[in-house]
């Protein structure tokens, strides 16, 4: 007896797509008629699915997680997982399996930023739109369909970040407000001598806690964020002023010109003077 109805497209990406894009492995919809367990592990694939209606259970990372209408799931299929529709409220899923040369790194970064593998977006329009576009492109295989699918897969991953990272899901709480305040302070005062001790004292957070939560929220360390802001300013001055490199270094908050040059090369892979010549 058939326990489910699925509308599935299995994709075979081109060599170019495999080398350069996020590419679709399979996509489709599934409507369970009776409970059926789908189980996999050690599969080089990322899976995103949206529960369009009904409820069920995801087993992942040695725990069972209840799912219901409107939930999103984003998991790494190298890890063992299974999912099963409930008997009383059979579900309908819309899913895409995808991969790419950078897929494992993307998911590792997502996990390191405390991205959730299950979340419930307030507005699922972006997810449903991308899934529909992917399905339509894989069905028609029109011009540039692999590039378009890559764009839509990137949209899904980006939407996962925006919906599930702590700084977004914690809107309105005190920590969220403080991280935004720290970021604003760095943006406005990057030319000054700023230390972690000073920030810790100013915002009443321990150095360790502030460093950890800032990186979780922004994806970068305080030092890297500050240097990036300084280098941005330096690039403007190099292009649109006649000031010397040493003067620009001081104006950007790095008065030691040798250290400024070292930082600049780290970010731009060229010296400040070379950048000025190129641009």
Q: Are residues 157 and 214 in the same domain?
A: no
From 139, 164, 189, the end of a domain falls on 164
Tokens of 88: 């009383």
Residue range of the domain that includes 97: 4-164
Q: Are residues 152 and 109 in the same domain?
A: yes
210 domain residue, yes or no: yes
Least confident range of 43-52, 161-170, 227-236, 269-278: 161-170
Please enumerate in sequence order all residues whose Cβ is within 8 A of that of 146, keeping only pairs 6 or more positions apart, or say none. Answer: 13, 14, 16, 17, 21, 23
Q: Are residues 8 and 72 in the same domain?
A: yes
pTM: 0.81
- Closest C-alpha among 8, 164, 162, 150 to residue 71: 164
270 domain residue, yes or no: yes
pLDDT digits 0-9 by tens, 98-129: 999 999 999 999 998 888 999 999 899 999 99
Q: Are residues 179 and 156 in the same domain?
A: no
Average pLDDT over residues 3-29: 92
Q: Which residues of 117-148 are buried (b: 16+ CB within 10 A; e: fewer)?
A: bbbebeebebbeebbebbbebbeeeeeebbeb
Please enumerate in sequence order all residues whose Cβ is within 8 A of that of 15, keeping only pairs 6 or more positions apart, or say none. Answer: none
From 138, 164, 190, the end of a domain falls on 164
What CATH code is carried by the domain that includes residue 187? 1.10.10.60
Q: Are residues 10 and 141 in the same domain?
A: yes
Q: Tell me the three state secondary structure of residue 55.
A: strand
66 domain residue, yes or no: yes
169 domain residue, yes or no: no
pLDDT digits 0-9 by tens, 61-70: 999 999 999 9
Please enumerate in sequence order all residues whose Cβ is within 8 A of that of 181, keeping only pairs 6 or more positions apart, or say none. Answer: 203
- Closest C-alpha among 160, 103, 97 to residue 127: 160
- Number of domains, the chain: 2
94 domain residue, yes or no: yes
8 Å CB contact between 188 and 194: no
Give strand pairing partners of 58: 65, 83
- Per the listing, tokens 């081109």 go with 14
């Amino acid at each position: 007896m058939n326990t489910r109805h699925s509308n599935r497209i299995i994709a075979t990406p081109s060599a170019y797509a495999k080398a350069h894009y996020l590419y679709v492995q399979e996509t489709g919809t599934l409507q369970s008629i009776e409970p059926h367990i789908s189980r996999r592990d050690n599969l080089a694939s990322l899976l995103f699915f949206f529960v369009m209606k009904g409820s069920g259970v995801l087993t992942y990372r040695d725990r069972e997680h209840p799912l219901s209408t409107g939930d999103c799931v984003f998991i790494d299929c190298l890890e063992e997982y299974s999912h099963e529709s409930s008997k009383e409220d059979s579900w309908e899923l819309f899913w895409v399996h995808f991969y790419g040369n950078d897929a494992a790194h993307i998911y590792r970064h997502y996990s390191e930023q405390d991205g959730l593998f299950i979340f419930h977006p307030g507005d699922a329009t972006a997810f449903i739109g991308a899934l529909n576009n992917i399905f339509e492109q894989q069905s028609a295989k029109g011009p540039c369909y692999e590039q378009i699918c890559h764009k839509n897969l990137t949209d899904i991953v980006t939407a996962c970040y925006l919906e599930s990272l702590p700084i977004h899901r914690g809107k309105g709480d005190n920590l969220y407000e403080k991280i935004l305040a720290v970021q604003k302070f760095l943006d406005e005062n990057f030319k000054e001598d700023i230390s972690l001790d000073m920030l810790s004292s100013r915002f009443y957070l321990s150095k360790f806690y502030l460093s950890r939560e800032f990186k979780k929220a922004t994806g970068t360390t305080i030092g890297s964020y500050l240097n990036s802001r300084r280098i941005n300013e330096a690039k403007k001055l190099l292009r649109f002023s006649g000031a010397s490199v040493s003067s620009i270094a001081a104006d950007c908050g790095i008065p030691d010109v040798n250290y400024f040059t070292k930082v600049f090369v780290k970010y731009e892979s060229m010296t400040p003077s070379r950048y000025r010549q190129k641009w």
